[in-house]
Amino acid sequence: MRSCWNLKYGNLLSLFVGLSVSQLFGQYSLPNEIPLVKKVDLQPYLFPVNPGQVNFLAGTMGELRTTHFHAGIDVRTNSMVGVPVLATQQGYISRVIVGAYGYGNAVIVSHPDGNSSLYGHLDKFKGLIATYVLQEHYRKKSFDLDLTFDSNQFPINRGDTIGLSGNTGGSSGPHLHFEIRDENNFALNPLAFGFTEVKDVFAPIAIKVALVTMDANSRINDKFGRFEFSLIRVGNTYSLPYPIFASGKIGIELLGHDRIDRSHFRCGINYIEVVADSTSIFTQQIDKINFEQSYDITAHMDFKALKTRGLRFNKLYISDGNPLELFKNVENKGIVSIENGSRSIRIKLRDFWANESLIKFTLKNDPVTKEVSFLETPLKPIDFEVIENTLVVHSKKCVSKSTTRIFVKGKPELLEPSYAGVSKDVYLIDLRTYLPDSIVTCSGTLPFSFKDKIPSRTDYQYFSDEVDIEFKNGTLYDTLFLNTDYGVRNNREVFTLGTLLTPIHKTISVLAKPKNKYPNYRQTAAYHIEGKRLEYLGGQWQNDKIKFDSHELGEFTLATDSIAPSIRRIYCNGNSARFRISDNLSGVESFEATINGEWVLMKYDYKTGMVQSERLDKKKLLKGDFKLVVRDRAGNERIHQQKIL
């Protein structure tokens, strides 16, 4: 089953490389001249694809995507390219975007009521705007375009065909991405505009709940951490067949989705309410989206589950640093306190069509104990993880409690397990109190690499022999207990800066001080390590040091790309030229084609690596000396030349 969460933005790396933030999410400013008056009498908004007929969706507004909230609806086109896309309301074309990433080919129409509509992933533009855009490609000698217009240039009537549906940009399947935005550029739910073309009778589906201990004094089934529980379904009611023993402060997360008639895609849930006993403690309602906060979705999901397993657990509490404005009726940030007795939890799920589901379970108070009947046998003799502000050390069982010592600034202190099982000891250390150097148990010594405690709401600089890091105010959602390390792996220097599992709000600036020599600075750049993949970051060399920015923490390395991009000809004749281009490491930076020295438009699809020509004069064949030049980000260049007879 393919998820509608993955229908767009299939290649996150390419998106960040290819688009600015404003292009990626389509945020824009309208031209200065907007003479259209508000509060005019308008016909109802028109559904943009096959109006009056039954339509189906592959995505809804407000879904949790990997890097942002989905800002519109994805209208299915039966896996076809070329379905007419109609203007939903009268107005004028105020902006056109052409690019390989994000929305691909997109049209924005401004309307007399102050709203605007966006149509993304188009295959082609139609009407006078199509001719104008093609001319602009050739005038600017660029595939990428971002054009704005005044109200008198391209007026639009309701129902005019403005383009044909496609699969351009970050789309991973043919469909239309359709948005409606208000005068403040907030995305509104298009389904709220009275469209009858889409029906839904299916209630949201719940798969799992996760329970999270919110501090070192909290427990779930006698243990500290985050624990997932699969739900049992009877009709539209989901439950756990047994109470969960808990104590202290507990956060709840939900893994679920909505279904829409005749669609196998997993879509978003607009309304979620948590009721503890008879009190509503948390309500999330997504009826509009502020694009300036869209990146903050990373603070709204369990980031570790997202990065390691691709699962989007929706937090039903407001974690530290979460600035989103989607919540109301929130009590104690949505965190449930278990002090005595039991608490009955009810979670109400509702989609746009008012189809409802209910999740119910019980949290039963159980006093904190140091003896736990069942603990999983540790995979390693000794290991650790950081959960929020707590360092959690897992060690094989030690017979004597006096053998464990924790070292802080070189000084040892005795440390007893916070709780233990038959084969395992667990130690909980509050990192807000101190940053330990290492811990020694009967299973061995575990060194830590904590270097500093970085506050979230101030400018901060960290300096060391290997790296300097600059954190701007607001870069972090919460206090960062920074661990750094340096080593060599697979003949590459590896700089460890925090962990990939910690989300950040803004980019960090890093000055790496490599110990190896890199004779070719021009082709050597910084890369972020994600598994076996290297993500190009670039950088500027300064006296044998390299400075670069990153929107993620984790592991970084330096690599030299000395191999030119590849060009594979599909066909090249008088009618059209089509090639597949790619690069082995740094990625394609630019491509340019000419015929007899004159620039030729090449349209690029990063998903397939295809570039294909489009002539300005359709009556004039490609004839003569054809040349295609492809460059990568390291400056390597590959040239294909041939004569077209």
Mind listing the pLDDT tens digit for each residue in 530-586? 989 999 999 999 999 999 999 999 999 999 999 999 999 999 999 999 999 999 999
Beta strand spans in 449-553 (E): 450-454, 460-463, 467-471, 480-489, 492-497, 508-512, 524-530, 533-538, 540-542, 545-550
**How far is it, in rounded angstroms, from Cα 57 to Cα 263?**
7
User: Is the domain 4-193 a CATH 2.70.70.10 member?
Assistant: yes
Mean pLDDT lowest for which of 63-67, 600-604, 632-636? 63-67
End-to-end Cα separation, the chain, in angstroms: 48
Q: Are 271 and 221 in contact (CB under 8 A)?
A: no
**Range 370-384 average pLDDT:** 88
Residue type for position 132:
Y
Q: What is the pLDDT of residue 379?
A: 80
**How far is it, in rounded angstroms, from Cα 8 to Cα 63?**
12
* Selection from 608, 642, 641, 590 nearest residue 141 by Cα: 590
**How far is it, in rounded angstroms, from Cα 534 to Cα 528?**
6
Domain 4-193 shares a fold with domain 452-560: no
| Per-residue pLDDT reduced to its tens digit, 212-245 | 999 999 999 999 999 999 999 999 999 999 999 9
Q: What is the pLDDT of residue 399?
A: 81
Q: What is the pLDDT of residue 262?
A: 73
**How far is it, in rounded angstroms, from Cα 639 to Cα 645?**
19
| Per-residue pLDDT reduced to its tens digit, 581-606 | 999 999 999 999 999 999 999 999 99
Q: Are 94 and 110 in contact (CB under 8 A)?
A: yes
**How far is it, in rounded angstroms, from Cα 227 to Cα 414?**
29
Q: Structural domain boundaries of the chain?
A: 4-193, 205-365, 382-448, 452-560, 566-644
pLDDT at 198 exceeding the cut of 50: yes
pLDDT at 477 exceeding the cut of 60: yes
Q: Are 82 and 121 in contact (CB under 8 A)?
A: no
Q: What is the pLDDT of residue 40?
A: 65
Specify the long-range contacts of residues 236-240, CB closer than 8 Å, at least 24 apart.
236/203, 236/355, 236/356, 236/357, 236/358, 237/357, 237/358, 237/359, 237/360, 238/206, 238/357, 238/358, 238/359, 238/360, 239/359, 239/360, 239/361, 240/209, 240/361, 240/362
Largest distance between two CA atoms of the chain: 88
**How far is it, in rounded angstroms, from Cα 122 to Cα 84?**
10
* Selection from 451, 447, 473 nearest residue 460 by Cα: 473
**The CATH number, out of the four listed (3.30.1330.60, 3.10.450.50, 2.60.40.760, 2.60.40.2550), of the domain defined by the range 566-644:** 2.60.40.760
Mean pLDDT lowest for which of 8-22, 322-336, 432-446, 574-588? 8-22
Q: What is the pLDDT of residue 398?
A: 86
Beta carbons within 8 Å of 167's beta carbon, 6+ residues apart: 81, 104, 121, 123, 173, 174, 175
Question: What CATH number is given for 452-560 in this structure?
Answer: 2.60.220.30
pTM (2 decimals)?
0.89
Beta carbons within 8 Å of 486's beta carbon, 6+ residues apart: 466, 467, 493, 494, 495, 496
**What mean pLDDT is reported for the chain?**
91
Q: What is the pLDDT of residue 621?
A: 95
Could you tell me the two tokens for 457? 């709401």
Task: Report which of residues 10 and 360 the model is more confident about.
Answer: 360
Q: What is the pLDDT of residue 294?
A: 87
* Selection from 528, 539, 618 nearest residue 574 by Cα: 618
Q: What is the pLDDT of residue 434?
A: 93
pLDDT at 28 exceeding the cut of 50: no
Assign 3 a pLDDT band (cuts: 50, 70, 90): very low
